[in-house]
Structure 1
Amino acid sequence: MRLSKPGYRSIKPLDLQHFVSPYTRALAWACFSAPLVNIGDHPALALTPERMAWLQSLDNDDQPLRKHLQERCKSPRLGLVFESLWHFFLEQDRSTELIAHNLPVRNARGRTLGEFDILYHDHTLQQSFHLELAVKFFLAMRPGDIPLSAWLGPNSADRLDRKLERLQTHQLPLANSPEGALAMSNVGIEHCKAQLRVAGVLFYPQGKRATSACLNNDHPKGTWFSVQQFTTQKTEKEQATWRLLEKPHWLSADYQQTQGIEKALALATKRPQMLINQKLERCFVVPEHWPLIPNTD
C-alpha cells in the first residue's frame, strides 16, 4: 500500500536547515521524513501544519526533548534513539496517546515470540495502531533496475529485502496471533491496525539511477563513491565542503559535530564513512572493494 497519499507532506533537507536544535532536527527527520518503502499506512502520522508549528516551538525550547532523551534513552544506538524520538512525539501530540512500547509477546510457557514496538491510539481517527519502526541506511550495489537484495547496509551484511521480510512476516502479524491479542488486551486494546515506518536514506552509486519495487519515490537520497572516485571526480575545494558525520549524529545531521574530510578519507579506506555538507546532503565514501563481504543468501 502506498504511503505517499494526497496531502501527505514530509520533511525535506531544506526544512531541516530551519531548525537550530539538533535534537529537534533529529525528531523532525525521524518522524516526518519520507519513508523508504511504500508498505504500511500512515494517515494518522502526516506532517500537519499544527505539527510543524509544534516542531518550531520545540526548536525554540528543546529542553523537554533533551530531558526525555536523557531520562528515557541511555544508549547511543541509532535504533533506540529513533524509537525514543517516536515515543516523545506520540506522547506530546494532541491527537495521539502512546499506550505501550517494546511490549513483549510471550507464549504460555513464557517464551518470548516478539514484541510490539509501539501501540498507540489516535483520538481523531478513533483507531488504535500497532506501529513497527526501523531506521536504515542502504547503498545500491549497482545502478539500474535492481532487486531489493541489492540494497546493502554499509557493513555489507544488512539487506533491505531481509529487513522487510522480517518486518512483514514476523513483526507486523504479531497482533493477529492469540499471544499478541492477549498482550494487547492486557493494555486495553482489543483491535488495532498495523503500520510500518522504515525511515533512513538510500545511497546511489555516483548518483546514478537505481530502482526497485515498492520504494517510495520521495525517500531521502544520497550518493556513494569509492575513495578513488571521490578524490578523482571532485576538486579539493569540492571535497572540503564535505565533512565526516559519525554514527551517533546520523539522525540529527548535526553539522557542528562533524570532522574534517582528511580523517573521513583515511577511515574510508577500511570501512564506509558517511559524509555531510552544509546543505545537509549526505554521501558515503567506501573502500575500493566494497561490498566488503560476498552478498550471499
Structure 2
Amino acid sequence: MKTPSLWKGDFLGLNSFELAENSTKKLLPENIQLPENLVLGKRAERFFAEAISQTNSYEIIAENIQIIHEKQTLGEFDFFLKETHCEQIFHVELVYKFYVYDPSIENELNRWIGPNRKDSLVRKINHLKNHQLPLLFREESLASLKELKLSPKKIEQKVCFKANLFVPKKLQHSSFSYINQNCIVGFWLHLNEFSAEEYAGFQFYSPKKKDWSIEPTNHHEWKNYTEINKEINYLFQHKKAALLWMKKDEHTFERFFVVWW
C-alpha cells in the first residue's frame, strides 16, 4: 500500500488506478494467509485484493480470470471492480516491479530495466498495451465476460503500476523524466563498489525475491559484511542481482542492489 504508483493520470495511453490513502476502513490484518512459495507479483495481488475489500469505494466482482482457448491460455484478467457510488466497472491490471536505472542505455525510458536485465519498463508497457488490455475485446473472452454479466463496451480499463526504483549511487539526488520521483527507494552498485572500506561497519540482509517489498525496519536477523559477500557471490553464480537491506544504526536503514553485470 505504501509503494507509490509509477505515474498518475495518463502515461503513454495507460490510465492509472489509484486508491486514496484514507480509503481503507482499517489497517490491513497481519494474519493474511499466503502460500509460502507465492511469487512477488501474486503476493501483491493478494494485498491489493485485501485493500480493496477494506474500502467503501470499490467491490471486487472477479479476479484472476484466465482466458483459455483450445487448451491454450491466452491471458488473464487481474481484477474487475465496481465503483460503489456510480456502479462503473473497471478492469484493473496490477503491476508490482523493481527496476534499476542504467544510464548507459541510449533512450531515457529504456533505461529502466530489471536488476537482472531480463525485464524492462518499456517491455512491460508494451505487453500491457498490446496484449493484456486488448484481451478484454477478444472474441475468446466474451463467454467469460458474459458469465460475469459484463459488457466490454461498458468497462473502463486502468493500470495500478507500483514500482520500486533504484538508481546509480552518484545519481541519487538527480531528477528523472517520465516517472514519479517518489518511487526511487534506493541505489545500485557493482560488486567492486561494495568495498569493505565503505561498508564493513554496517549490518546486512538479502531477502528472497518474494520478500523484496518488505520494509527493512521490520527485520531482526542481520549479517556482517563478510557473511553477506558470500551470499552475493552465490547469487552471482546464478546471474542474479542481490537486493540488500543495510542497517546503519537502530533508526537508519537503506536498500540497494549489487548487480552482477
Report if the CA contact (8 A) 1:143-1:205 is conserved. Answer: no
Deviations 1:158-184 (A, max 9, x none): 122111110121101222333334422
Q: 1:125 to 1:226 in 2, by over 3 A?
A: farther
Q: Counterpart in 1 of 2:176?
A: 211
Measure the CA separation in 1 of the matches of 2:169 and 2:18: 36
Report if the CA contact (8 A) 1:207-1:224 is conserved. Answer: no
Deviations 1:236-281 (A, max 9, x none): 33xx154333323212235426541433323324242111245453
In the alignment, structure 1 residue 249 sits paired with structure 2 residue 211: yes
Moved more, 252-261 or 78-87: 252-261
Q: 1:163 to 1:79 in 2, by over 3 A?
A: same
Measure the CA separation in 2 of the matches of 1:241 and 1:97: 43
In the alignment, structure 1 residue 266 sits paired with structure 2 residue 234: no
Moved more, 241-250 or 94-103: 241-250
Q: Counterpart in 2 of 1:54?
A: 26
Q: Counterpart in 2 of 1:286?
A: 259
Q: Counterpart in 1 of 2:194?
A: 230
Report if the CA contact (8 A) 1:106-1:113 is conserved. Answer: yes
Structure 2 segments unaligned to the other structure (5+ residues): none
Q: Counterpart in 1 of 2:50?
A: 88
Deviations 1:197-228 (A, max 9, x none): 2223111011413734x322332431001122
Q: Counterpart in 2 of 1:200?
A: 163
Structure 2-normalised TM-score? 0.79
Q: Counterpart in 2 of 1:36?
A: 6
Q: 1:207 to 1:134 in 2, by over 3 A?
A: farther
Structure 1 segments unaligned to the other structure (5+ residues): 1-27, 291-297
Q: 1:188 to 1:233 in 2, by over 3 A?
A: farther
**Bigger fraction of residues in helix:** 1
Report if the CA contact (8 A) 1:34-1:220 is conserved. Answer: no
Q: Secondary structure at the match of 2:82?
A: strand
Percent same amino acid at aligned positions? 25
Report if the CA contact (8 A) 1:249-1:257 is conserved. Answer: no
Q: Secondary structure at the match of 1:126?
A: coil
Distance apart, 1:121 and its partner CA: 0.9
Report if the CA contact (8 A) 1:118-1:131 is conserved. Answer: yes
Q: Secondary structure at the match of 1:175?
A: helix
Moved more, 250-259 or 75-84: 250-259
Give aligned pairs, total: 242
Q: Counterpart in 1 of 2:91?
A: 130
Match of 1:180 among 118, 137, 141: 141
Measure the CA separation in 2 of the matches of 1:74 and 1:245: 14
Match of 1:275 among 232, 236, 244: 244
Alignment of 1:62-81 (within 5 A): 62-63=30-31, 66=32, 69-70=33-34, 73=35, 75-81=37-43
Q: 1:236 to 1:277 in 2, by over 3 A?
A: closer
Q: 1:110 to 1:88 in 2, by over 3 A?
A: same
Structure 1-normalised TM-score? 0.71
AA aligned opposite 1:283:
F
Q: 1:235 to 1:79 in 2, by over 3 A?
A: closer
Q: Secondary structure at the match of 1:163?
A: helix
Report if the CA contact (8 A) 1:102-1:117 is conserved. Answer: yes
Distance apart, 1:105 and its partner CA: 2.3
Measure the CA separation in 2 of the matches of 1:119 and 1:142: 38
Q: Secondary structure at the match of 1:281?
A: strand
AA aligned opposite 1:137:
F
